[in-house]
Amino acid sequence: MWYQDYTAFVQLKGLSKRSIKTYLGWAGQLADHYPEAALPDLDSRQVLGFLSHLQTVRGLSGSSLNQAVCALRTFYRDHLGKSWKIWAKIKIHREEPLPHILVREDVALLLGTFRDNRYRAYFTLVYHCGLRMSEALNIHPKDIDSKRNILRVRHTKGGKPREVPLSPALIDRLRLFWKWHRNPDWLFPAPGRSWNSPGSTLKSALHHAAKPMSASCVQAAMRIAKHECGLMKRHEKVCIHTLRHSYATHMLEAGTSVRQVAAYLGHTTLKPTMVYLHLTEISEEKARAALATLPGV
């Protein structure tokens, strides 16, 4: 019974499907940890013991442990109304390594490696708009506003749509790609497994596709491209998300404000965007120039 009630509660909170699944998953793990007790009847010491087990026995990272704390706090404090003091005492250290980025020349090298128009258009859009993988896969043709040079990103991580500027040159490239397949629903449709059967063409398969390209499809294309262009030797950690990191860093280097870049990335606070300031070459140059103007030397 508690599971259904908690499911309805987190759904009413307006959480994304991914967050709901995560929250319910941690509640389920807590129930498995104490199989003989009902979850609503557990006391704060038992919940704290479970969190300690996750940290000391299972060795979870700070990020995973923080997920568990958020899920269980939502269950006991927000859903059941238990005024426990343990939540204020829990301090979790989360390591936040600097994101991996590519310089502009390496981005150009990578994007020029994709010979298939589908992948070249997809990865160019990911980089030029700082999109997450799934955000770009789920773009509809109608999401592009060519009059305002704007891309409407609807399928976002937090469920909140946002708008990102598009260059006229990229709009022309995307329009040319779409005019080739003319799928009414998807900018990047999936051809399916049987498109190369007798009597079928890739163009026809893309036009009639009912689904967008899959994550595994574009991930495989990225692996092949980074090997072919030689980036794997210098950048082992290159992935699709690297293009999003590179976009943020390059936009800041070009003089775009942190607040504006945060809005383009879909960040709800400035904190995650501030990380990219550590990666910008321009910030170091400005710092050295500023030091030279300080008095007293």
- pLDDT score at 199: 65
pLDDT of 286 above 70:
no
CATH 1.10.443.10 matches 104-285:
yes
pLDDT of 30 above 90:
yes
Q: Which CATH number fits domain 2-89: 1.10.150.130, 2.60.40.10, 3.50.50.60, 3.40.50.2300?
A: 1.10.150.130
Handedness of CA 232, 236, 240, 241 (dihedral sign): negative
For the chain, the C-alpha Rg in angstroms (whole number) is: 24
Least confident of 26-30, 193-197, 252-256: 193-197
CA distance 245 to 47: 37
Instruction: For residue 239, give Cα distances in angstroms to 53, 100, 219, 244.
Output: 33, 9, 8, 10
Mean pLDDT for the stretch of residues 93-99: 69
Model confidence over 155-165: pLDDT tens digits?
A: 888 788 999 99
First to last CA, the chain: 72
> Could you give the residue range(s) of every CATH 1.10.443.10 domain in the chain?
104-285
- pLDDT score at 72: 92
Spatial CA neighbour of 50 closest among 35, 296, 111, 63: 35
Count other Cβ atoms within 10 Å, centred on residue 171. 16
CA atoms within 13 A on the CB side of 218: 28
> Could you give the residue range(s) of every CATH 1.10.150.130 domain in the chain?
2-89
Model confidence over 46-70: pLDDT tens digits?
A: 999 999 999 889 988 888 888 899 8
CA distance 126 to 170: 11
Cβ–Cβ < 8 Å for 205, 191: yes
- Residue 197 DSSP class: S
pLDDT of 289 above 80:
no
* DSSP H helices in the chain: 2-12, 17-33, 44-56, 62-73, 86-89, 104-111, 117-129, 133-137, 168-181, 202-208, 215-228, 231-234, 240-253, 258-265, 271-274, 281-293
For residues 55 and 95, the model is more confident at 55
- pLDDT score at 167: 93
- pLDDT score at 125: 96
Residue 251: which residues within 8 A CB-CB, separation 6 or more? 130, 261, 264
